[in-house]
Each structure stands twice: as C-alpha cells, then as structure tokens.
Amino acid sequence: MAEGYIGIDVGSISTKGVVVDREFNVLASRYLRTQGNPIDSIRRLLAELGGQVDSGVRILGAGTTGSARRLAGVMVQADIVKNEIITHAVAASHFHPEVRTVIEIGGQDSKIIILRDAIPVDFAMNTVCAAGTGSFLDHQATRLGRPIEEFGGLALRAKNRVNIAGRCTVFAESDMIHKAQLGISTEDIVAGLCDAIVRNYMNTVAKGKEIHPLILFQGGVAANVGVKKAFELMLGHDVLVPEHFLVMGAVGAAIVASEETDGKGTRFAGFDVADTDFQTRAFECEGCPNRCEVIETLREAKVIDRYGDRCGKWSKL
C-alpha cells in the first residue's frame, strides 16, 4: 500500500487539502469553500480526499494550517499545527528551490515571504485591512455580473488601463462605478482594478521588502491572470504561478507533518472523521471585566478543546 502525508489548510474563504506521497508528489487535492462553517467544510474535505485516494494510502502524518488551523488540528488529531507563513514558504521552496519571493493572496489576507537559499528569512502580512484580497475581487465580479473565473481574462483584453483608487475597498468600488458611468469599457476598468490591487499590495504588505526573482504567486487570487499580469508590469520580472498554487499551504502542512513525525507514527484520526459529530460553541466568561469570548470544540458532545481566554482558566482542560 502506498504511504503518504495529509495536509489541511482552512482559511476564511476556502478549505484546502492534499494527500502527498513520501516524495511530496500530490496524489489528491481538494479546494472547497469554507462558507463560514469550517467544521462542515473540514468534514466534506476529508470525505472527498478519502474518496479520491480510495483509502489506498496509509497516512504517516497529518498537518494543519490556515486561520482555522487549531480547530482543524483538533478535529483530525493532526501531528502538527503550523502557521501559514511557514507552510507556504516550505511548499514554495520544495517545488522551486531557487525561489526568493513568495506573493500569496488569499480570500481575506495577503502576505509576502522572502527566502534566501531556500530558507524563509522575512515576511509580512496585511494588518487590519482586507482591500485587494480575494473576497473583494469576488464581490466586484458578482457586481459586474461576470463569473470570477473569467475576471482575469477580461483584464488581459484591456486597451487603456484606467486608474482605480486602490487604498480602500469602498473607495475602489465607487471609483469603478464612476468610471463605468463615464463610459469606460469593463475590460479597462477590470485591468485598472488589478493594478490597484497590486499597488495596494506593494504599498502595504510588501512595503520595504526587496523583491528578487524567482517570484512565485500563490493562493486563490493567483488564478486571476489579470492580477498576475499586473504584478509582472509593476515588478518588471516574470511571475510564476506554481502548479499547485491553490493548495500550497496544504502541501506545506503535509511536508512539516513529515518532518514532525519522521517515522514516529501518527495521531491522525483517519478519513472517517467525516462521520464523527463535531460542534463548536462560544460563551462569554464572566470571571473578570475582560469578558473573554471562549470557544469550545466538542466531539460527540465531549469538550476536547477550549481557547480564547486571556488567563488560561478555560483553556487548561
């Protein structure tokens, strides 16, 4: 029977998962929408991944990453729970050892990772503002009545890229409406939007970073050829979208899981977690004026994890 590792990346917008073999070749990969319900999406993900490998792979290790990494880790009993900076960097340098810059734009956050000699040395993430991330593009595509998949192609057909204010999602939207009312073509406006996203990224996330090739572009927004083109125009270098750009975080989680377990055996709960009942609930602790919101995860009505308290009163189980 084949052996391999499983990596799960649960973000705000999408849930990604891969099964890789011992050389980290991707055997199965899935990309689902989180739809505000990570428990359900993790369950569906495992069911679909299990179906793809047809239970023909013995899992040696499991890793989780992304903003819901903790929840996912508790659910599947992962061997390692790792933040998304490291997993993206690890996966990028595995497939392209000569990479020196990773641009990652996901549903609600964006980051830059600087690598030297295949080692991540610096990074930055967007702070409080989500302007220019995937959910904004999604929203604009819906507003213009175009499927998100076609959106990037539209930008490539632009004749005159117009200037769109990219500092803020709200202003960008009103600027786009204004330009449309002036009679400017949708192609030109969408190209302007791609430029605005890149400009915003360069001024906030990538501020002060030295960007050298090879540049990888990963995360959901990398599917958008318009944004890729805008990056190339801005940076003056080719930008490479790796084959598994959608699931790089998950691949990285699988790789760190292999480093972590290293033949020691796994805690992974198996693909049939999909059939187990999980719940989360939140309550406000009234022990002090901090009123921490404590989140509990329950498996079959038993509390298996708690977090969110500042003092540790609840998180110690």
Partner 1 sequence: MKVGVPRALLYHRYGRFWEEFLAGLGAEVVVSRRTDKVLLQQGLSHVSGEICLPIKIMAGHIEELGGKIDVLFLPRLLWLEDRLYACPKMIGIVDIARMMFDGRLPICAPNIRGSFWWPHFRAGMELCHDPVRVVRALTRARRYIPAHDRAPDFPAGEKRVALLGHFYNLDDDFISRPMVDTLTGHGYRICTKDELPEKVLRNRQGFARKIRWVYERELYNAFRFLVDKVSGVCIIVSMGCGPDSLVAEFMREEAQQRDIPFLQLVIDEHSGTAGIVTRIEAFLELSERRHAGRSKIQDSRLQIGGQAAAA
Out of 159, 291, 302, 316, the only residue in the binding site for partner 1 (CB under 8 A) is: 291
- Work out whether 234 is an interface residue with partner 1 (CB under 8 A): no
Residue 88 contacts residue 66 (beta carbons within 8 Å): no
Give CA–CA dist 270/2, Å, rounded: 15
Phi-psi region of 123 (alpha: psi -120 to 50; beta: other; left: phi over 0): beta
Looking at beta carbons only, is 17 or 120 nearer to partner 1? 120
Looking at beta carbons only, is 83 or 163 nearer to partner 1? 83
Question: Which residues between 50 and 109 bind partner 1 (CB under 8 A)?
Answer: 67, 83-86
- Work out whether 128 is an interface residue with partner 1 (CB under 8 A): yes
- Work out whether 36 is an interface residue with partner 1 (CB under 8 A): no
- Work out whether 184 is an interface residue with partner 1 (CB under 8 A): no
Number of residues that bind partner 1 (CB under 8 A): 21
Give CA–CA dist 80/295, Å, rounded: 20
- Work out whether 170 is an interface residue with partner 1 (CB under 8 A): no
Give CA–CA dist 262/210, Å, rounded: 35
Out of 32, 47, 53, 125, the only residue in the binding site for partner 1 (CB under 8 A) is: 125
In whole angstroms, how close is the CB of 86 to partner 1 at the nearest point? 5
In whole angstroms, how close is the CB of 120 to partner 1 at the nearest point? 5
SS3 content of the chain, % helix, strand, coil (to 5): 40, 25, 35
Sign for the pseudo-dihedral over CA of 146, 242, 254, 54: positive
Q: DSSP secondary structure string, 209-257?
A: ----SSEEEESGGGG-HHHHHHHHHHHSS-EE--TTGGGHHHHHHHHHH
Count of Cβ atoms closer than 10 Å to residue 118 Cβ: 15
x/- track of binding to partner 1 for residues 191-230 (CB under 8 A):
-----------------x----------------------
- Work out whether 127 is an interface residue with partner 1 (CB under 8 A): yes
Sign for the pseudo-dihedral over CA of 257, 259, 57, 30: positive
- Work out whether 123 is an interface residue with partner 1 (CB under 8 A): yes
Looking at beta carbons only, is 227 or 257 nearer to partner 1? 257
Residue 37 contacts residue 72 (beta carbons within 8 Å): no
Chain CA centroid to CA 86, Å = 12
In whole angstroms, how close is the CB of 133 to partner 1 at the nearest point? 14
In whole angstroms, how close is the CB of 114 to partner 1 at the nearest point? 9
Looking at beta carbons only, is 153 or 308 nearer to partner 1? 308
Question: Which residues contact partner 1 by CB under 8 A?
Answer: 67, 83-86, 117-123, 125, 127-128, 208, 288-291, 310
